[in-house]
Amino acid sequence: MSTSAATVSLPADWRDFLALTKPRVMTLVVFTGLCGMLAAPVPIHPILGFTAILCIALGAGAAGALNQWYEADLDAKMKRTAKRPLPAGRMDRQSALHFGVGLAGFSLALMYFAINLAATLILAASILFYVFVYTIWLKRRTPQNIVIGGAAGAFPPMIGWAAATGDVSTMPMLLFALIFLWTPPHFWALALFVKTDYANAGVPMLPVVAGERTTRIQIGLYTLPMILCAAAPWPLGYTGAIYGITAAVMSGLFLAMAVQVAIRRSEPDDTMAPEKRLFKFSILYLFIVFGALVVDRWFA
Amino acid sequence: MTDDLIQTPPTPVDEAEAVRARQRSRAVVMAVLLGLFVVLVFAISIVKIQLGHGG
């Protein structure tokens, strides 16, 4: 932790506060939360559903802001993140901290008063887990950072489900497990082609610490339980054929790409095309599998 | 042409104006967000009353 790279002379622009919430990451969080809510067996009033999703988005934004507050020094060292408001010197760290804490408090208060205690507690757990366990404790210490830290990103469907039903059952736990197991192959595919960036910043990502070979094998190994989790809801009777077939096809494609990444070795000046393809496909995978869950629930 | 290359340092008046413009834009965004929040709280209250969840 250190002060930001440049001096701040003007008050931060509102767009910088928006950037602090990591809007692109939030898209996936909101989508999986929405799908968790729509897949629940109990319908929720649209206004309350909108409020619950808003709270999930604000909570994720708060966690993103606190992550950037703590990691300003790391972000300044990586090309991918150097233009963020804090390392670029467009905002002071105290503003980021106040914004993050305020937004977290607001999202939890709104969730509690408008929705229910179960959803509030899970949202609180996800914010605290992302900030304290992933950002502050694990990220700079262990190559398992994104494995354990991945739990933070896995909470949204559970929050959406809890917002609709008021509790948590086997199905949202399976959705949690699916995102939890999806996170390592997704992030390690990225880490393989931005390895230098992570190494320069001193982040112990798996390719930096254990090497490319181990990372590739781990991508393949994590993909296996991930596809089992994706497929499980159909044979267990929680979903119908629309979800089952979509999940099976998408998981087959994911496995094929993961195996391709797992068995290859990069050459000097390698474009890392299979790794980039797996990374992009992994995002599409989650969108389609979760989308199929909702289609299955509402249209089957 | 040389004149274009010479950059004059910002005067205190310019800086104060830039700060005020930034504060104005932030205040407008905050006002819009607060307005939307009021509408949301109103809508939530109506829904809760309809559903019979008074508390």
Together in a domain, A54 and A189 = no
To the nearest whole Å, the CA of B44 is away from the closest chain A CA by 7
Cα angle A224-A228-A229, degrees, rounded to a multiple of 5 = 115
Whole-number Å distance between alpha carbons of A188 and A206: 7
**Contacts of residue A113 in chain B, CB cutoff 8 Å?**
44
Grouping H, G, I as helix, E, B as strand and the rest as coil, residue B44 is: helix
* Among A111, A133, A167, residue at a domain's last position: A167
Res. A5 pLDDT band, cuts 50 70 90: very low
Show the 3-state SS of A182-245.
HHHHHHHHHHHHCHHHHHHHCCCCHHHHCCHHHHHHHHHHHHHHHHHHHHCCCCCCCCCHHHHH
Res. A203 pLDDT band, cuts 50 70 90: confident
To the nearest whole Å, the CA of B50 is away from the closest chain A CA by 11
* Among A167, A197, A214, residue at a domain's last position: A167
Percent of all residues in chain A with a pLDDT value above 70, rounded to a whole number: 97
Res. B13 pLDDT band, cuts 50 70 90: confident
Together in a domain, A126 and A239 = no
Cβ-Cβ contacts under 8 Å for A95 (sequence gap 6 or more): A12
pLDDT tens digits, one per residue of A262-272: 999 888 888 89
* Among A152, A167, A182, residue at a domain's last position: A167
Together in a domain, A162 and A297 = no
Whole-number Å distance between alpha carbons of A221 and A200: 27
Please answer yes or no on whether A114 and B44 come within 8 Å at the CB atom: yes
To the nearest whole Å, the CA of A218 is away from the closest chain B CA by 45
Together in a domain, A199 and A65 = no
Together in a domain, A163 and A173 = no
> Which chain B residue has the Cα nearest residue A113?
B55
Together in a domain, A158 and A234 = no
Please answer yes or no on whether A10 and B22 come within 8 Å at the CB atom: yes
Residue A5 lies in a domain: no
**Contacts of residue B17 in chain A, CB cutoff 8 Å?**
none
CATH of the domain at A140: 1.10.357.140
* Whether A40 contacts A160, CB under 8 Å: yes
Together in a domain, A159 and A212 = no
pLDDT tens digits, one per residue of A123-172: 999 999 999 999 999 989 998 888 888 899 999 999 999 999 999 999 99
Together in a domain, A129 and A140 = yes
Instruction: State whether residue A7 sits within 8 Å of chain B by CB.
Output: no
Instruction: State whether residue A11 sits within 8 Å of chain B by CB.
Output: yes
Alpha helices, H only, chain A:
14-20, 23-39, 46-70, 72-77, 93-114, 117-128, 145-154, 156-165, 170-193, 195-201, 206-209, 212-231, 241-263, 273-299
Q: What is the pLDDT of residue A198?
A: 80
Please answer yes or no on whether A9 and B15 come within 8 Å at the CB atom: yes
**Contacts of residue B46 in chain A, CB cutoff 8 Å?**
47
**CA distance to A126, A219, A254, per residue, from A281 (Å):** 25, 14, 7
Together in a domain, A143 and A67 = yes
Does residue B17 surpass a pLDDT of 70? yes
Percent of all residues in chain A with a pLDDT value above 90, rounded to a whole number: 80
Together in a domain, A140 and A186 = no
Report the pLDDT averaged over residues A216-230: 97
Instruction: State whether residue A43 sits within 8 Å of chain B by CB.
Output: no
Please answer yes or no on whether A47 and B47 come within 8 Å at the CB atom: yes
Please answer yes or no on whether A14 and B47 come within 8 Å at the CB atom: no
Print the domain residue range for A265: 169-300
Report the pLDDT averaged over residues B21-33: 95
Interface test with A, best of B47, B49, B53 (most A CBs within 10 A): B47
φ and ψ of A234, to 5 deg: -70, -60
Please answer yes or no on whether B29 and A51 come within 8 Å at the CB atom: no
| Both tokens assigned to A179 | 């995102």
Number of domains observed in the structure of chain A: 2
Interface test with B, best of A15, A20, A47, A54 (most B CBs within 10 A): A47
Together in a domain, A51 and A117 = yes
Please answer yes or no on whether B44 and A51 come within 8 Å at the CB atom: yes
Together in a domain, A173 and A272 = yes
**CA distance to A46, A55, A183, B22, per residue, from A119 (Å):** 16, 10, 22, 37
Partner residue facing B40 (CB), from A11, A45, A51: A51
**Contacts of residue A51 in chain B, CB cutoff 8 Å?**
40, 44
Interface test with A, best of B40, B42, B45, B53 (most A CBs within 10 A): B40
